Amino acid sequence: MSEPAHIHLAEGDGSGGATATGERPDRYKWVALSNTSLGMFMATVDSSIVIISMPAIFRGIHLDPFAAGNISYLLWMIMGYLLVTAVLVVTLGRLGDIVGRVRMYNLGFVVFTLASVALSFDPFLGPSGALWLIGWRVVQALGGSMLMANSAAIITDAFPAHQRGMALGINQISALSGQFIGLVLGGLLSAWDWRAVFWVNVPVGILGTVWAYRSLRETSARTRSRIDWWGNLTFAAGLGAILISITYGIQPYAGHTMGWTSPKVLAGLIGGSVLLIAFCVIESRVPEPMFNLGLFRNRAFTAGNAASLLASVARGGLQFMLIIWLQGIWLPLHGYDFEDAPLWAGIFLLPLTAGFLIAGPLCGWLSDRYGVRLFTTGGLVLFSSSFVGLLLLPITFPYWAFALLIMCNGMGSGMFSAPNTSAIMSSVPNTHRGAASGMRSTFQNSGMSLSIGIFFSLLIVGLADRLPAALSSGLQAQGVPASTAAQAAALPPVSTVFSAFLGINPVQTLLGPSGVLPTLPAHNRAVLTGKEFFPNLISAPFHHGLVIVFTAAAAMGLLAATASLLRGSGKRG
């Protein structure tokens, strides 16, 4: 019996080598699913927990969000994690194929946990404190990349084909729900102490690390091959240059509202594109490529990844936009203090998470029986329709309508994500599952980064068209001199957006240096610094920008649905 058991072990039939070790046949696959879902949940919680905690972090390290250049720190705290995970998952997935997927995954738990400890012990204040956090966030993202790159491959190896949709669905929903649970968790923890945002990972990381090293084992044959150094370098450098350029492109430059005309940004976008073209040429010629481009001849694999990228672009900026909408406008207009808005924004976004949790595992299970195309395409149509509903909402919407629409958005994402992941992973040979898992994660994570750049730029374009006039006239209506109002209105719209994002009323900051506020009548001062003046002022320009953003997101979602429809009509497609 030992020889057949070994054969099954190499093929990843779902037994997990149970026959050879004497374990109950079904036990190992559930252990693998539980641990990898915990790892994915932890890695994705940390991609969003920092977003909602930014106000507390900036206060904790005494960093003025309105000081020149400090917007860069905020963006890098958010984008740095996404950038690293997008760039490294393919390389780390391929390394998992070579040295062992479980070995790379377990090391990811260790790196992630140690980086979380270092983040919580930030010894500096001001810019130095921000650089400490950005640096260790990069290390933390390295650990998260190891987890992301290998978890789906471990599950695919452990489960038989007829159960992979359910298993990968649970794993994918753990990851997606982590993004939104992180919003609520960050709001709760940062209200107590900003360092707790990073401490919360430590006990989970220690538990997951010990559990992984004790329980997980390799269930597929390793691929003996050399590392494709040139492929790795060109891919990492090319994608990294593009994503870094996007990060700088959404920041002000030389009097412009954004930096897309900066020579540095243009050079990064062009140079990164050239390097990615070189990567494709290298991969088509080396004998042992980092990623087998021949997999893209598989229609199910290509269509699944194209749909994943487009859906990720459509979804990625949604979280960011909804937080600004809630924190900067809706919550203050409904009586919430700016300081409390981040916590309540996370709470009011819970229907989005509920939609994921309802639809994801169920549709993953159903797709094993009825095929994936019905669920992936139908889910993306529902997903796109929710954006149409959101752009039709008034800026001071009734909450029930908002909650229903974001729940539909979450359900659409859940219907799509789990079956699509299963179809992608089931379409590739066992020896390429690590690299395929990494490429799938790269498309998803790159889509998140691209989305923030694309949608944030669209929002700023919409604001720049209307905000300066609204800000100038609104300030003058409260007795602010025309020259002072003009100076405030001339500031880049990105500063106003980030003040809303950070839960800060910017009026006092905008007018403070001029010394105008103390000279105004008490009633005017109260209006300017109250809860409703700034939200009312920005609501019309912001809604104009949101209509542009949500229209683009709906179009992206429909393109993703079209790609999904073209995947094929087989049992797994």
pLDDT digit string (tens) for 535-564?
A: 888 888 888 888 888 998 999 999 999 999
Task: State the average pLDDT over residues 175-197.
Answer: 80
Among 392, 362, 402, residue whose Cα is nearest residue 378: 362
**Residue 113: both structure tokens together:** 């946990």
pLDDT of 109 reads 92
For residues 173 and 54, membership in a common domain is answered with yes
pLDDT digit string (tens) for 383-417?
A: 999 999 998 999 899 999 999 999 999 999 889 98
Residue 179 lies in a domain: yes
pLDDT digit string (tens) for 235-266?
A: 888 888 887 888 788 777 777 778 888 999 99
pLDDT of 107 reads 94
pLDDT of 434 reads 65
pLDDT digit string (tens) for 84-100?
A: 887 888 788 778 877 88
Task: State the average pLDDT over residues 123-135.
Answer: 92
Residue 6 pLDDT class (50, 70, 90 cuts): very low
**Distance, CA of 467 to CA of 114 (rounded, Å):** 44
- 207 or 514: whose pLDDT is higher? 207
User: What's the pTM?
Assistant: 0.80
For residues 180 and 266, membership in a common domain is answered with no
Residue 468 pLDDT class (50, 70, 90 cuts): confident
Q: Which of 116-125, 134-143, 293-302, 458-467 has the lowest mean pLDDT?
A: 458-467
Residue 183 lies in a domain: yes
For residues 28 and 95, membership in a common domain is answered with yes
pLDDT digit string (tens) for 408-461?
A: 999 998 899 878 887 887 787 776 766 677 677 778 777 877 887 788 788 888
For residues 447 and 493, membership in a common domain is answered with no
**Number of structural domains found in the chain:** 3
Give the CA distances from residue 538 to residues 103, 111, 332, 495, in Å, rounded to whole numbers and listed in that order.
51, 43, 12, 13
pLDDT of 118 reads 94
Asked whether residue 5 carries a pLDDT value surpassing 60, the answer given is: no
For residues 232 and 328, membership in a common domain is answered with no
pLDDT of 478 reads 87
pLDDT of 403 reads 96
Instruction: Give the mean pLDDT of the chain.
Output: 81
For residues 431 and 485, membership in a common domain is answered with no
pLDDT of 7 reads 30
CA triple 43-40-561, angle to 5 deg: 110
Compute CA 317 distance to the chain's CA centroid, rounded to the nearest angstrom.
Answer: 8
Q: What is the DSSP string of 159-178?
A: S-HHHHHHHHHHHHHHHHHH
Residue 212 lies in a domain: yes
Give a three-class secondary structure readout of 305-369: HHHHHHHHHHHHHHHHHHHHHHHHHHHHHCCCCCCCHHHHHHHHCHHHHHHHHHHHHHHHHHHHH
For residues 303 and 160, membership in a common domain is answered with yes
Residue 332 lies in a domain: yes
Give the CA distances from residue 18 to residues 12, 106, 163, 232, 492, in Å, rounded to whole numbers and listed in that order.
11, 21, 17, 36, 62
Residue 56 pLDDT class (50, 70, 90 cuts): confident
Asked whether residue 474 carries a pLDDT value surpassing 50, the answer given is: yes
For residues 129 and 181, membership in a common domain is answered with yes
Residue 353 contacts residue 175 (beta carbons within 8 Å): no
**Distance, CA of 18 to CA of 359 (rounded, Å):** 32
Residue 79 contacts residue 449 (beta carbons within 8 Å): yes
CATH number at residue 101: 1.20.1250.20
CA triple 360-364-370, angle to 5 deg: 135
- 107 or 324: whose pLDDT is higher? 107
Asked whether residue 54 carries a pLDDT value surpassing 60, the answer given is: yes
For residues 441 and 330, membership in a common domain is answered with yes
Asked whether residue 152 carries a pLDDT value surpassing 50, the answer given is: yes
The sign of the dihedral angle between the CA atoms of 109, 104, 146, 373 is negative
pLDDT of 68 reads 64
**Residue 303: both structure tokens together:** 């269509």
Residue 3 pLDDT class (50, 70, 90 cuts): very low
pLDDT of 23 reads 45
> Of the residues 245, 272, 289, which one is the last residue of a structural domain?
289
Residue 435 contacts residue 97 (beta carbons within 8 Å): yes
Asked whether residue 1 carries a pLDDT value surpassing 50, the answer given is: no
Domain span at 489? 463-546
For residues 369 and 348, membership in a common domain is answered with yes
Residue 313 lies in a domain: yes
- 43 or 501: whose pLDDT is higher? 43
Among 452, 467, 477, residue whose Cα is nearest residue 77: 452
Strand partners of residue 253 = 256
* Residue located via tokens 């990567």: 279
Among 225, 222, 226, 228, residue whose Cα is nearest residue 291: 228
In the chain, what's the furthest Cα-to-Cα distance?
Answer: 90
> Of the residues 261, 289, 317, which one is the last residue of a structural domain?
289
pLDDT digit string (tens) for 328-352?
A: 789 888 888 877 777 788 789 889 8
For residues 350 and 414, membership in a common domain is answered with yes
For residues 129 and 66, membership in a common domain is answered with yes
> What percent of the chain stands above pLDDT 70?
89
pLDDT digit string (tens) for 217-231?
A: 887 666 566 777 888
Residue 570 lies in a domain: no
Residue 572 lies in a domain: no
Residue 452 lies in a domain: yes
